[in-house]
Structures are given as C-alpha cells and as structure tokens.
Amino acid sequence: MDRGTRGREQTLRFLAAPTDAGYLGNVSGGRVLEWIDKAGYACAVGWSGRYCVTAYVGNVHFTRPVSIGDLVEATARLVYTGRSSMHILVTICSSFPNGTHAVQTSQCSIVFVAIDESGNPVEVPRWIPVTMLELQRQRQARVRIRMRRRIERGYTAGGADSLTGWTNASADRASPQLRQPPFCTSPGPR
Ligand SMILES: CC(C)(COP(=O)(O)OP(=O)(O)OC[C@H]1O[C@@H](n2cnc3c(N)ncnc32)[C@H](O)[C@@H]1OP(=O)(O)O)[C@@H](O)C(=O)NCCC(=O)NCCS
C-alpha cells in the first residue's frame, strides 16, 4: 500500500525564542533535538495515522548555531519504512525572520515505530521512493540499518552491552540484579 505524496514530508516553522537559548546565547542543542523529535513525530503520525514512539535517534550533526529570533524550519522526510518502523531524516534550517540568509544548521536520522493501544508495533503503509533523491536516501537508510545491526551485534556480544554493562530490556526484567551498571556499585560497610 502506498499513500502517494501525502504525509511523506512535514515542515514545522517557528521563531527561535529567548527561552530556547543555551549558556552561550544561541539555541541549545537539547532544544534542537526537541524540534527534531517533534518534526519527526509529525511526519510519522501523518504517514501512519497511528500513535508513534521514538525508537532510535542517531547521526546527529550540529553544523551551525541557531540564533535567537531566527526563523526555523524543521523538515522531516520519510526515507524508509519497514513493517512498523518509519525512518525519517530531519533537517533544521534557519534564516533571518524575513527568510533571507537561510542555512542548514543540523541534520539527524530518527526512527519511529507505530504502536497500537497496548503499545505493540503495528504495520505502517509502505513508503515508495518516487524521485532519484528519494531513492538515494532510501539506499543510505538501508546502509545505516545494516551498520546499526553490526554495531548492535558488537555491543550485545556476551549478553550485555559491552560499553555500559546494561542489559537489554527483557534481560532486565528477568534478572533485576543485572540492572545495576558496574560503575554504580553499592558502597561496602565502613
Ligand atoms: C520501539 C518499541 C515499540 C519496539 O518494540 P519491540 O517489542 O522491540 O518490537 P520489535 O522488535 O518488533 O520492533 C518493531 C520495529 O521497531 C524497530 N526498532 C526497534 N528498536 C529499534 C532501534 N533501536 N533502532 C531502530 N529500529 C528499531 C524494529 O527494527 C522493528 O522495525 P520493523 O517492524 O519495521 O521491522 C519498544 O522498544 C518501545 O516501546 N520502546 C520505547 C519507546 C519510547 O519510550 N520512546 C521514547 C518516548 S516516545
């Protein structure tokens, strides 16, 4: 099932407010991540018509700062759909409020999963690339999926995340004593 062009791209437009500023006066990275999540969510919900959760955020590049008062455009584009997942590329651009001097300030890959009322993943409409650029983005998304799987296999070799010591969620539930990462050992008797 393909839904044509409807919902394959969403753009949020707004002004960067003083409350978005970080310590150095420009917009904070955390606020930019929030915009990325919101734009991606709008795109995922628009495409699937379902409630969606963020499953993965990665490949974030902050290339230029966003100034307070700038006009911000957060554009989220579908680049791949699996059975229940939607892989979305979000680009943040900013310009003077009159629209001049527009620059791309950050980009991020984000994966949303459509869920039902019980929180279980549900099937989403298949996205089919139409333009050459979309086809290229889909190929890049597939490469990223393969690379992520290889990295995750490396992390989980031996049953626990080799960098943090945390286990995956199901192992967590099965074995509460494994919840404590090695760097949080409880102090012994004094
Ligand atoms: C995302 C979530 C629903 C997946 O549930 P699950 O039981 O692992 O389901 P599955 O293993 O069947 O995976 C479902 C899909 O999610 C994808 N997925 C799950 N974790 C992923 C990750 N870390 N990165 C990329 N894709 C992921 C799977 O590839 C699969 O895609 P497909 O259906 O297109 O093949 C579940 O892990 C969850 O609820 N996570 C918490 C989400 C959350 O709280 N987000 C922050 C607030 S919105």
156 lines ligand 1 (CB under 6 A): no
Q: Whose CA is closest to atom 19 on ligand 1?
A: 55
Rg (CA), the chain: 20
Is the CB of residue 29 below 6 angstroms from any atom belonging to ligand 1? Answer: no
pLDDT for residue 174 is more than 50: no
CATH, range 1-128: 3.10.129.10
What residues does each domain of the chain span?
A: 1-128, 129-173
User: What is the reported pLDDT for 155?
Assistant: 79
Q: For the sheet with 51-62, list strands across it.
A: 9-15, 71-81, 85-95, 103-115, 51-62
To the nearest whole percent, how much of the chain has pLDDT over 70? 79
31-60 confidence digits (pLDDT tens): 999 999 999 999 999 999 999 999 999 989
Give me the pLDDT at residue 103, please: 96
Measured distance CA(13)–CA(105) in Å, rounded: 14
The pTM for the full model equals: 0.84
The label of the residue with tokens 């003083």 reads 18
The Å distance, Cα 113 to ligand 1 centre, comes to: 6
Distance between Cα 22 and ligand 1 center (Å): 31
Q: How far is the CA of 44 from the centre of ligand 1 (A)?
A: 13
Give the number of the atom of ligand 1 that is nearest the alpha carbon of residue 120.
3
CA of 27 relative to ligand 1 center, distance in Å? 30
* CB 149 near ligand 1, within 6 Å: no
Alpha carbon of 109 to ligand 1 centroid (Å):
15
User: Which residue's CA lies nearest to atom 20 of ligand 1?
Assistant: 55
Q: Rounded to a whole number, what is the distance in angstroms from the first to the last CA of the chain?
A: 65
Q: Which atom of ligand 1 is nearest to the CA of 81?
A: 34
Segment 77-101 mean pLDDT: 96
